[in-house]
Amino acid sequence: MTCKGMIAFVKAWEDTCGDSGEKGTPTLAVPGGKKFRLSPVAFKGPCKSSSINVQIDGTLVAPSSLSGWKGCSSGKWLNFQDVANLNVKGSGQVDGQGSPWWDGAEGPDGCENRPTALAFSQCVNLVLSGLKHVNSPRNHISISGCDNGIVSNLQITAPESSPNTDGIDISHTNNLDIHDLDIQTGDDCIAINGGSSNISITRVSCGPGHGVSIGSLGKNGAYETVEQVQVRDCSFSGTTNGVRIKTWQASGVVVSDVTFTGFRGSSASDQAIKLSCSSVGCSDITLDNVQITSSKPGDTVTASCENAHGSATLTTPPVRCLGS
């Protein structure tokens, strides 16, 4: 997209966000069959209407070279902030063009750190559905400081060798329902970070990647909490781990009420389940009907845990500290 086109895109958001909604929910539409090359841009609220639609049927493309990332001081490419009842849907694609970043190259002034492709912050009642997300420089999707949301029917893809290309990163977010996703990345399929609660993850296909992770939490001794996480009916193929809780030992991290149910799949590493909790410990951890084998024929996998408390039933590999 030319500079003139970029300005038009920003103007379209200003018009959408400034629409009172008297004639129906304001909608920003990205038409199918077209590509739009965008520099880093922020879509900021609050908006005048009680709800906003963003319909993406075309392809949004990030800058193809590092020089095109000037001005991404927020470390984000597409950044939705403080928009209530935001519905982002469609059959289109979000292409982060991440490969120039993956070899450790530094970006231009003001964008030294690899950016997240699509970010939502301080959003209430978020809906994200239907899109294909590919090749983010870093996290594909970041959800931070949000309350109530549904994320469904997404395909998220990056090469197995791409560093830190998490599928979805969640932090300081409550009441989030994630279901029916296919995630193939170079890092965590889904990472749940501090300040998050009541997170439901269902029917997610993961691999390659690092599995579903809680943390890491408590760096530099920080106090953080994660509670009420339910992961159900997920499948893993060749992931580094299937189940993982990561905390720094010398920290005040509290992880509680976490349930993993109905896991099936394979692990590329010897350690399929890793529960590493701080000295405070993780409580009410439940593994039920979890079956993870090695992706290497003839090899076996193990589980490890430190300061984790709860129960494990019908779980392979056995998790001794949880009574499996």
Which residues are catalytic, by number?
187, 210
Per-residue three-class SS string for 55-74: EECCEEECCCCHHHHCCCCC
Output the CA angle 250-251-254, nearest 5 degrees.
Answer: 135
Angle at 185 between CA 181 and CA 190, to 5 degrees: 55
Asked if residues 81 and 47 have their Cβ atoms less than 8 Å apart, the reply is no
Place of tokens 């984790």: 308
Q: What is the Cα–Cα distance from 189 to 239, expressed in whole angstroms?
A: 9
Q: Using alpha carbons, list the distances in angstroms from residue 37 to 107, 117, 226.
A: 18, 13, 37
Cis peptide before 208 (omega within 30 of 0): yes
CB 77 within 8 A of CB 62: yes
* Beta carbons of 36 and 1 less than 8 angstroms apart: yes
CB 285 within 8 A of CB 323: no
> How distant, in Å, are the alpha carbons of 178, 200, 204, 216, 313 from that of 189?
12, 14, 9, 14, 24
For 4, which DSSP code?
H
Q: In degrees rounded to 5, what are phi and psi of residue 69?
A: -95, 15
Distance, CA of 159 to chain centre: 16
Q: Which residue, 104, 122, 96, 105, is CA-closest to 44?
A: 122
The C-alpha atoms of residue 242 and residue 244 are separated, in whole angstroms, by 7
The tokens describing 47, both together, are 């908006």
